[in-house]
Structure formats: structure tokens, C-alpha cells
Amino acid sequence: MLREYNIAGFGGQGILYLGQVLAYAGLLSGKQTTWIPSYGPEMRGGTANCMVVISDDKVRSPLVYNPNVALIFNKPSLEKFGADIMPNGKALLLSDLIDGELDRDDIEIFKIPAKTIAEEMGSAMSANMVMLGALLTIDPVFDYSQIEAAVKKVTPSHRQHLIEINLNAVKKGIEYAEQMINGGYKEQEG
């Protein structure tokens, strides 16, 4: 098993946190994992992306050039990374903030209105966790209990009150993606 992820958006969207949750879920399921941040100097508003590798074997390159799975949180990131996704890979797009299309017919594209879903549950900051939930359904490498344990591990001590909110957002993401797939709605380009 080998998964190479690229998670990209701007600072403040919880990109790096989402990547860490994924990496920890990998660790807790006995895999080898790496996580690399890459972000601009701004805490909020600058570009942010991180690369996560989860593997049965020792991770070769921790730098991800052609991800199996890309989680794209804004339009500039789509323009920057859209072409790099591995053929037969998957792209999850935060559709609230991306009005453009990804012109690829060799990958599966899933549009998730994660921001709207998060706002509906009263926690606009949790769009990243909605995306993570959708990922769990679309590419079921981990089960919910592993993600739950990872969220608890990664959340710093002064943010413990967010654990429940974040886990609820994960569940919303799972539900949305399940409906999307079971309801026959799957946005596929080309």
C-alpha cells in the first residue's frame, strides 16, 4: 500500500493540520509515514500546502511530485497542482471556493462544498475536516476510529474543545460523500 497526498490551499484553512491527522492515522495503523509542510511566510492568507506519504514499506521520497490523491482548497492551488495528479488518481475539490474546472479525463474528480457544509453546522473553520471525512469515503484507506484517534493526538492541548466539533465535521464529510456516491452523483470530467 502506498498513498502520496498533496493537500493545498491557503494559510488558515487547516491544510497542515489535516495533513498531520492523515499522517498520524497512518502511524496508528502501523504504516510508515512522512509529512512535509510548504508554506509562505504569512500565517493566514498565504499559500499553504503539505505532502503526506503513507506506505507499507520505508518511504523513499517524502517529496510528492505526482500524488495519488490531491485535496485542493482554492483555485490558485488547482492551477498549480491540477496537472500533476497521477493518472487514475483522485482529486477532491473544495467546490465553494473553486469556480473553475479541472480539465483531466484520466482522474476521478469529486467536488465537495465543504465550506457550506461546515458553515451549516456552525463551524466555518472545520471545512478541512469535512474534506477529510469525504476522503475517508472516497478512498477508504483508514476507518473512522483511526481518524478519531489521530485527531485527538494532533490537536494541541489549548484546542481540546475543538475535537468534538472537528469529529462532527468528519462525520458530515463521510455522509456527504456517501450520498454523493450512492446517489449516483459523481462529477466526472471528460
Partner 1 sequence: MEKTMMKGNEAIGEAALRAGCRYYFGYPITPQNELLEHMANNLPKHDGVFLQSESELAGASMLYGVAATGKRVMTSSSSPGISLMQETISYLASAELPALIVNITRGGPGLGRITPAQSDYFQAVKGGGHGDYNLIVFAPASVQEMMDLTMLAFELGDKYRTPTMILGDGIIGQMMESVTLAEPVEIKQKKPWTVGRRKDRDYRNLVISAPFTNEEMVELNVRLQEKYREIEANEQRVECYRMDDAEFAIVAFGIVSRLSLAAVDSMRNKGYRVGLIRPITLWPFPEKAFASYPQVKGYLTVEMNEGQMVEDVRLAVNGAVPVHFYGRGGGFTPAPKQIEEKVAGIMEGGDLA
Smallest distance from the beta carbon of 58 to partner 1, in angstroms?
A: 8
Among residues 25 and 78, whose Cβ is nearest to partner 1? 25
The nearest distance, CB 184 to partner 1, in angstroms, is: 38
80: exposed, middle or buried (Cβ count in 10 Å: 0-12, 13-18, 19+): middle
Least distance CB 63 / partner 1 (angstroms): 7
Q: Residue 153 CB, nearest distance to partner 1 (Å)?
A: 8
Q: Which is nearer to partner 1, 59 or 125 (CB)?
A: 59
Q: 182 φ, ψ to 5°?
A: -70, -30
Residues that bind partner 1 (CB under 8 A): 20, 23-24, 26-27, 31-37, 59-63, 65
Residue 21: name the closest of 173, 121, 146 by CA: 146
The three-class DSSP label of residue 63 is: coil
Looking at the Cβ atoms of 132 and 174, the one nearer to partner 1 is 132
- Distance in angstroms (rounded) separating the CA atoms of residues 10 and 16: 10
Q: What is the dihedral of CA 31, 6, 133, 142, to 10 degrees?
A: -10
27 or 181, CB closer to partner 1? 27
